[in-house]
Amino acid sequence: MKQIQWGFIGCGEVTERKSGPAFSIIEGSNVAAVMSRSSEKARSYAERHNIPKWYTDAQSLINDPEVNAIYIATPPSSHATYAIMAMRAGKPVYVEKPLAASYVDCQRVMRVSKETGVPCFVAYYRRELPYFNKVKELLQKEAIGKVINVQIRFSVPPRDLDYNSTHLPWRVQRDIAGGGYFYDLAPHQLDLLQELFGPIVYVSGFQANRGKLYQTEDTVSAAFAFQDGMPGSGSWCFVGHESARTDQIELIGEKGRLCFSVFTYSPIVLQTSHGKEEIVIANPKHVQLPLIEKVVKHLQGITTCDCDCVSATSVNWVMDRILGKI
């Protein structure tokens, strides 16, 4: 492919700033059509973003001869269905994370990608952001020596919407999201760690619903180990007090410690015998831009992008093991 003509399935909040504009900024890439089940939403999005076509049916968009690649930006429960439809039609796919609402559905997507030879990429865009590239650089330079332990700590208070029992956010509805906020946010953390240290091969976890605001888990603890035997642990709370608000991954090494956030992009903290250093790294306005550019170049045959359904399936395996789904 020389010119990538994208069709969007879904046009929600994530497409407005994080991802959508990036598809038209990249050389050799353009948005040809958008789809939403709501005609009003699809038409409005197309008009505001200068997209020539809009649809209310996913198959019609996929069949459009002017569309040769598909971006899926719907809730996770429909990711596998749309991805498989697109790949069966011979059209590469870029899917929002997590790849699907379960490890089993991820396996279906991976199997069809292999059968058809059509690539399926997943939006673990933090892999390509300057902030996390700096973390990789520090590890490659052995700034803290050999890493011997990994700890994830995450806590936030409930959102206002979480108190509305009649109109709960889809992110806490298991049949749509695959789980609660853990299933929405933890994938980025777990994918990053596997990008840095290789696959997690052992994992166990415990989940609880402590706040009773919705039926899915709101508090999660886990222990895991990577292929080389390095242990790690994680703690997630989505109903914590404001005073406990935390977004941190801590890497403990033989020569020091390295701390960074995943969602707030607070200064990276490097602490060794030489002292403590805080490193500020800015990210692009449209945070998915670097990964989308890599995907486009892959489809153009210029480079290779391995942020695909294979590595993404591993993330869902870890999460489903933590939640006791498998």
Q: How many domains does the chain have?
A: 2
> Does residue 204 lie in a domain region?
yes
DSSP output for 107-171: HHHHHHHHHH---EEE--GGGGSHHHHHHHHHHHTTTT-SEEEEEEEEE-PPPGGGG-TTS--GG
Q: Identify whether 313 is part of a domain.
A: no
Q: Is residue 229 situated within a structural domain?
A: yes
Helix axes 79-88 and 103-116, enclosed angle (nearest 10): 10
CB half-sphere exposure, 300, CA atoms < 13 A: 16
Distance in angstroms (rounded) separating the CA atoms of residues 72 and 171: 17
User: How far is 204 from 98, CA to CA, in rounded Å?
Assistant: 19
- The reply to whether 54 and 161 lie within a common domain is no
pLDDT digits (tens, 9 = 90+) for 100-113: 999 999 999 999 99
**108 and 216 inside one domain:** no
Same structural domain for residues 166 and 244? yes
- The answer as to whether 320 is a domain residue is no
Q: How many CB atoms are closer than 10 A to CB 25?
A: 13
The boundaries of the domain holding residue 39 are 4-125+287-305
146 shares a domain with 92: no
The pairing of strands 29-35 and 53-55 is parallel
Are 200 and 255 contained in the same domain? yes
Does residue 319 sit within a domain? Answer: no
Provide the pLDDT for residue 22: 94
At position 221, the amino acid (one-letter code) is S
Is residue 253 in a domain? yes
Q: What is the pLDDT of residue 1?
A: 75
Domain assignment present for residue 314? The answer is no
Question: Are 291 and 279 contained in the same domain?
Answer: no
Same domain flag for 167 and 92:
no
Q: What CATH number is given to the structural domain containing 295?
A: 3.40.50.720
Which CATH number fits the domain that encloses residue 201? 3.30.360.10
Question: Residues 118, 255: one domain?
Answer: no
Q: Are residues 270 and 145 located together in one domain of the fold?
A: yes
Write down the H helix ranges in the chain: 13-16, 22-25, 39-48, 58-63, 79-88, 103-116, 130-140, 174-177, 181-197, 289-299, 309-322
Q: Which residue numbers in the chain have pLDDT < 70?
A: none
97 dihedral zone (left: phi>0; alpha: psi -120 to 50; beta) = beta
CA distance 86 to 186: 27
For residue 205, give the amino acid letter: G
Say if residue 188 is in the same domain as residue 63.
no
**Residue 252 falls within a domain, yes or no?**
yes
> What is the per-residue pLDDT for 17?
81
Q: Are residues 13 and 54 in the same domain?
A: yes
pLDDT of residue 13: 85
Query: Do 265 and 145 reside in the same domain of the chain?
Result: yes
